[in-house]
Homo-oligomer: A and B are copies of this chain.
């Protein structure tokens, strides 16, 4: 059997019939180079947004199951369109929905997790047609209902299918040339990274670099699947995500800024054991993801607890936090939306005290007050005031990546 290549094209890449034909040509070229190709596509352009708007007109709070039924129609359109476009160029292709290609998931609608891929049909269609076009973002639960995978779901579909098929590689096509040392729209000096480790990519993804979803990177790392991020508009080689052992030593790979965070503080919590546990388990139970916790004793037997959450989760987080803080006897809950998180990511960071001090020095030289710090094996993050974010990003990029 030929090599198998999995390619994923996002909504922008299949946003119009013209672009779908462009994708068709790329897929055919990959096939003609001697590969069998599985193409994973998202819904066309803004069609998902359009469907969400339509739903709101009949129900402001629709059930997640029916939203999945509605939204999954979007990829069904794009897979049929792409299979037709490939057919129109004289090549054979067949489209399969998520359920048809054996993507089994949990039942958690709108945010399901893939539990298994039953690849029999996919393999036989690939053998028969050479090209199979698959609906990303969707699968089927045990009740035979259609589920969707939540944010970044199509990337995850692509990597999961690549692993299930033992593909040579998984190519994620997007509208930029690859992964950059930082956001090129904010720092023109940003450079494309040729090769990066899974761990670093995971940090960059989690910190808001936005090119790949962290779930897909994690899955690739776990299965050691070669991941390539490329542009669908040119032939540039893109960025390869590989094992760390395959890399030359690179101290700092990238610099990121996450603007979608809020800082929440619970003030004057009486100091008893298990306080943090109570608060953070309640947040977790309500699907609020927290980060960057600090707890400091301000006066005798009284703590302040500060943490960050995603901006989208602010209302949920405040509701949970207020309830718990009352139970704990805290005096007040306050929050600050006027913050950003700047981070540097790199395999070399953990082993080098110099890097941490240079990081803090750079911010200090700009007169920026560091509100919170967190460090991990391959990254350092700081919370600073929003107004200084872009200046900090540029200076850190200049210091570490230029």
Contacts and interface: CB of A to CB of B under 8 A. Distances in A.
Interface centre among A20, A60, A95 (most CB of B within 10 A): A95
Interface string A36-74: 000000000000000100110111111101110110111
How many copies the complex holds: the figure is 2
Interface string A347-382: 000000000000000000000000000000000000
Interface string A94-109: 1101001000000000
A77 interface: yes
Contact of A84 (B58, B73, B79): B58
A233 interface: no
Contact of A55 (B21, B24, B81): B81
Given A51-B77, A54-B17, A88 B62 contact: yes
A107 to B, nearest CB: 14
Interface string A134-160: 000000000011000000000000000
B81 A76 contact: no
Interface string A3-26: 000000000000001001100100
A94 B73 CA distance: 16
A80 interface: yes
A83 interface: yes
Contacts of A100: 144-145
A87 interface: yes
A85 interface: yes
Contacts of A69: 76, 79-80, 83, 95, 97
Main secondary structure of the interface of A (DSSP, over half): helix
Interface centre among A59, A61, A144 (most CB of B within 10 A): A59
Nearest to A81: B58
A66 B96 CA distance: 10
Given A72-B76, A76-B73, A76-B76, A58 B20 contact: yes
Interface string A264-305: 000000000000000000000000000000000000000000
Interface residues of A, number: 39
A136 to B, nearest CB: 15
Contact of A95 (B21, B66, B121): B66
A258 to B, nearest CB: 34
Contacts of A70: 76-77, 80-81, 84
Contacts of A83: 63, 66, 69
A84 B72 contact: no
B76 A59 contact: no
29 contacts: A17-B54, A17-B58, A20-B58, A21-B58, A54-B81, A55-B80, A55-B81, A55-B84, A58-B81, A58-B84, A58-B85, A61-B88, A62-B84, A62-B87, A63-B84, A66-B80, A66-B84, A66-B87, A69-B83, A69-B95, A69-B97, A70-B76, A70-B80, A72-B76, A73-B74, A73-B76, A100-B144, A100-B145, A121-B144
Given A17-B58, A62-B88, A66-B87, 11 more contacts: A20-B58, A24-B58, A58-B84, A59-B87, A60-B88, A66-B83, A66-B84, A70-B84, A72-B76, A73-B74, A73-B80
